[in-house]
Amino acid sequence: VTAMKEAQASERRAEAAELETRQAKALADAKDLFLASMSHEIRTPLSSLLGLLSLASNALGSSSDDEVKQQLSMAQQAGAHLLMLVNDVLDFSKIAAGKLTLEPSPCNLSELCHSLVHMLSTTQMAAEEVEIHFEIGPTIPQLVLVDE
């Protein structure tokens, strides 16, 4: 009788553990679906905003109002950074779902590093007077394959 009770208790524990595992997976799947949906919903208007900022910046042309141009440029950079973050959230959702596909393309490493330094210099790091320096060794190729 004792062995039977122990077997039943063990079976109940196994069933409870299996139920908890299924619930945790369902919760993780729901979270991933929410993040993917939310990211898509944010990305569409953000892309429109960036397009409008670009049109406004181009419409100014050679206007003498440098302050307005600078503010538009800062807004474009902030929007581009936000879009990058949203895309990263989407990528994490794809990774979790096992659906991320990398699309490598050639990129100039020096230009990429300069771009990153410029982007970081417009963030909080600039306010904290953090300096970033990089050096690309002579044996490192100029063009590298990256997934942007």
pLDDT digits (tens, 9 = 90+) for 9-30: 999 999 999 999 999 988 888 8
Tell whether the model's pLDDT for residue 125 goes beyond 80: no
Q: How confident is the model at residue 106 (pLDDT cuts 50, 70, 90)?
A: very high
| Beta carbons of 90 and 36 less than 8 angstroms apart | yes
Share above pLDDT 70 across residues of the chain, in percent, rounded to a whole number: 94
Q: What is the pLDDT of residues 32-55, one digit of tens each?
A: 778 777 777 787 778 888 888 888
Q: Which pLDDT value is given to residue 14?
A: 95
Name the percent of the chain lying above pLDDT 90.
23
d(CA 47, CA 27) in angstroms, rounded, equals 30
DSSP string over 37-104:
HHHHHHHHHHHHHHHHHHHHHHHHTT-S-HHHHHHHHHHHHHHHHHHHHHHHHHHHHHHHHT------
C-beta pairs of 25-29 under 8 Å, 24+ apart in sequence = 28/96
Both tokens assigned to 122: 């417009």
State mean pLDDT over 59-82. 77
Where are the domains positioned within the chain?
Answer: 1-100, 102-148
Query: Taking residues 55-83, what's their average pLDDT?
Result: 78
The Cα diameter of the chain in Å comes to: 93
Task: Note the pLDDT of residue 122.
Answer: 66
- Residue 23 to residue 9: CA distance in whole angstroms: 21
Query: Helix (H, G, I), strand (E, B), or coil: what is residue 19?
Result: helix
| pLDDT greater than 70 at residue 63 | no
CATH of domain 1-100: 1.10.287
Confidence at residue 120, expressed as pLDDT on a 0 to 100 scale: 73
Q: How far apart are CA 127 and CA 77, in angstroms?
A: 16
pLDDT the model gives residue 64: 65
Higher pLDDT among residues 127 and 30, named by residue? 30
Q: What's the whole-model pTM score?
A: 0.49
The stretch 46-66 carries a mean pLDDT of: 78
